[in-house]
Structure 1
Amino acid sequence: MWRPGPWRRAAAGAGLLTADGVPGTTIFAEMSALAASTGAINLGQGFPDTDGPQEVLRAAQDAIAAGVNQYPPGRGTQVLREAVARHQARWYGLRVDPETEVLVTAGATEALAAVLLAFVDEGDEVLTLEPAYDAYGAVIALAGGVHRTVPVDWPAFRPDPDRLRDAITDRTRVILLNTPHNPTGAVLDEALLRVVVEAAERHDALIVTDEVYEHLLFDGARHVPVAALPGAWDRTISISSGGKTFSTTGWKIGWLTGPAELVSAALAVKQFLTFVNGAPFQPAIAAGLDLPDEVFASIAGTLQTGRDTLVSGLEAAGFPVSVPRAGYFVIVDGAPLGFPDGAELCRSLPTLAGVVGVPVSAFCRDEQAARMRSLVRFAFCKSPGVLAEASTRLATLAQRGSTV
């Protein structure tokens, strides 16, 4: 018998509370199980199927061999905190003190949890874009906050500046931005980010940014960290990780940066979540952050090639495609092909084409879920052979017709 408790808020916040009041499984788990049972290619979950740079992998192996296998310091190893500080200066001109303004976490998800639990109290509003990564709603609810959203719509997925400005009020405690954006692959431009900073100043809100796809940019797109904008640093916590950039999602090495007092508040919570994690992986991610520019360009270029391969297959199948400017994912609209329900399309695709995706409605609530009902997200962070085969399979939909 499931008893009421904070878990219920978390499940409801993530859209996982069933009508019977029990926590359901995520759409990602459902689609991955479907892929496994049918032998379909799993383009649902966003994890790579190839390893990252050898320099990073060897650094982890060397650290293990050297005995770096016990608890690291609570704020993270010195070598990684210093590497994060160099990274922020190198790419964005941000001068960060590795002693007081950097905190290493168990991936970006723990960083988000620590920050929201540190600053959001009962009834505080947290504003996100929608669709949104499902962990946002879960942690906001766990903290007792109220989740407010601003929609981003097909196909550009850019929020309306006026609507965004109006959504930030005196009740807003945290503005949680994700750029580059999951699941849409949109990159928020500087003009839009300045709207956020101005509104945050006006209403005394914190800005928290999820920037895990910061280096995975395509077609000349540029990532602008909010913290680098005038007036933003004092109220901004920036979050990122090494998992997406270096194809090491299982290592769960993330970090946050910001003013010392904000970082210390997050640490006060984080130390009672995982305490510490990933001792031998921290120097390895530090090695990755110090790799030359051409390595980062190659990582993004390889992903862009994968994106283009998958987009070609989806377009050959007849899907309208929103071509992403960053990240791991591409979104299509099934409605013009006679697939008005993305969830049903995803459940049918293993039979129709031997491929699995996830419905974008899983990242939305209520009205926005209805508006996104026909959209499906596919991951292209896969090997060239897998993407080529998936594209070939998807293209056969044009010959099969569009009846589910």
Structure 2
Amino acid sequence: MFNFSSKLPNVGQTIFTTISAKATACGALNLGQGFPDFDGDEFLKQRVTHYIEEGFNQYAPMTGVQSLRESISTYFNKKYSLKINPDTEVTVTSGATEALTASILAFVKEGDEVIIFDPSYDSYAPSIELAGGVAIRLNLVGENFSIPFKKLEESLSDKTRMIIINSPHNPTGSSLGEADWKRIATLIAERNILILSDEVYEGIYFNEGNHFNPRKLEAIRDSLISVYSFGKSCHMTGWKVGYFIASENLSYEVRKLHQYITFSTFTPAQMALADYLGEKMDNFLELGEFYKKKCNFLVEGLKESRFKVLKPSSTYFCLLDYSEISSLSDVDFCMKLIEEHSIAAIPISVFYENAPKDQRIIRLCFAKNQETLERALEILNTI
């Protein structure tokens, strides 16, 4: 038998795999899965088929198909009034997680510290560990899951290489505004610190106006790597097409990793997405309204339930506080939901290194069709 030492000894099967397997075995309604149970636009599928049949089946350019990078640039100009260079600042990746991982591996070295905020997306810490870095984990605070700015300032040191910020935020549905980003910019001024901005849910924002894009702040633009996802924006998570935007010198370094991780991403999908952005950009611009209706339907439908609903300002996730229903841990409560009520949710303690002891919160995904949401309300209102 080959003897080895694991590079990720503390990483095992994810809770998402566990919950989904349990839900399938029990025939439960699954609101734990963080992806839609409905399909994307027929136009997209037709365009992929078109490009496959037309023979566009070889490697795409490493940085991404030109037409897609140009469409991304046009989108950012229209939505955020930002001028993005499609050649030097936009890179298409095989999903947002690849962009996040490549960015961490490109800049984090042995002993460097990276600040992340719990509850956090589960790929951050393992990627930091693989790079030889140390994750400094700070808990978001309050019902709005806000940045603990005092603790953030106290945590900054000469070892801090990067801060990872996820806004709009998974799993809480919270988001940072302009004032928050300006405080962050002030804290890192004159420091050699990168900001890795995970904005995969940028299109799913419910308050007035758009999600605040930190690239609008010139003070941090040259220290910023912004990561996005077509999977989230187009209801096609299985296509695994993401991208990142960064200054030319930062892009150059991350592209070095990208070219040896995947090199390029499925060509027909890139070309189809370019057409979709070009011809149906309103679908991107109206994505927030699309999901806001689903969010409001779920929140309104739970008003008479025993759950306390923590209404999100963004993403397609909603948190439910069940502290008046049960004293079970969130993991045990989620298992009980599957076994006794045939509905699956995700415990948010799994997004923490050290979750608050008295926290009793679960996450639901409302990127579901109307029938699924109606059935979910029937079940949740009887608990």
Give your verdict on TM over 0.5: yes
SS at 1:174 equivalent:
strand
C-alpha separation in 2, matches of 1:55 and 1:195? 42
Could you say which residue in structure 1 is the equivalent of 2:348? 360
Q: Which range moved further: 371-380 or 272-281?
A: 371-380
C-alpha separation in 2, matches of 1:97 and 1:164? 32
One-letter amino acid of the structure 2 residue matched with residue 6 of structure 1 = K
C-alpha separation in 2, matches of 1:328 and 1:121? 34
- Alpha-carbon shift at residue 221 of structure 1 (Å): 5.7
Q: CA contact under 8 A between 1:179 and 1:187: conserved in structure 2?
A: yes
Could you say which residue in structure 2 is the equivalent of 1:394? 380
C-alpha separation in 2, matches of 1:262 and 1:372? 41
TM-score (norm. length: structure 1): 0.90
Is 1:36 equivalent to 2:36 in the alignment? Answer: no
Q: Which runs of 4+ in 1 moved over 6 A?
A: none
In the TM superposition, 1:294-305 aligns within 5 A as: 294-305=282-293
Distance 1:111 1:338, change over 3 A: same
Match of 1:350 among 322, 338, 350: 338
Report the identity percentage. 35
In the TM superposition, 1:223-234 aligns within 5 A as: 223-234=211-222
C-alpha separation in 2, matches of 1:232 and 1:57? 38
Q: Which range moved further: 43-52 or 370-379?
A: 370-379
SS at 1:290 equivalent:
helix
Q: CA contact under 8 A between 2:75 and 2:281: conserved in structure 1?
A: no
SS at 1:392 equivalent:
helix
- Alpha-carbon shift at residue 241 of structure 1 (Å): 1.4
C-alpha separation in 2, matches of 1:372 and 1:382? 30
SS at 1:25 equivalent:
coil
C-alpha separation in 2, matches of 1:145 and 1:129? 16
C-alpha separation in 2, matches of 1:5 and 1:239? 29
Could you say which residue in structure 1 is the equivalent of 2:371? 385
In the TM superposition, 1:62-211 aligns within 5 A as: 62-211=50-199
One-letter amino acid of the structure 2 residue matched with residue 28 of structure 1 = F
C-alpha separation in 2, matches of 1:90 and 1:164? 33
Q: CA contact under 8 A between 1:360 and 1:373: conserved in structure 2?
A: no
- Alpha-carbon shift at residue 305 of structure 1 (Å): 1.9
Q: CA contact under 8 A between 2:113 and 2:159: conserved in structure 1?
A: yes
- Alpha-carbon shift at residue 147 of structure 1 (Å): 0.6
Gaps of 5+ in 1: 17-23, 398-404
SS at 1:231 equivalent:
helix
TM-score (norm. length: structure 2): 0.95
Q: Give deviations 1:175-204, integer Å, cap 9, x for gaps.
A: 111110000010101111111112222322
C-alpha separation in 2, matches of 1:193 and 1:336? 35
Q: Give deviations 1:82-113, integer Å, cap 9, x for gaps.
A: 11111222222222211111111001000001
One-letter amino acid of the structure 2 residue matched with residue 173 of structure 1 = R
Distance 1:154 1:350, change over 3 A: farther
SS at 1:218 equivalent:
coil
Could you say which residue in structure 1 is the equivalent of 2:48? 60
Distance 1:36 1:355, change over 3 A: same
Could you say which residue in structure 1 is the equivalent of 2:7? 6
One-letter amino acid of the structure 1 residue matched with residue 377 of structure 2 = S
Distance 1:372 1:330, change over 3 A: farther
SS at 1:214 equivalent:
coil
C-alpha separation in 2, matches of 1:313 and 1:346? 20
Match of 2:321 among 298, 320, 333: 333
C-alpha separation in 1, matches of 2:35 and 2:49? 21
Gaps of 5+ in 2: none
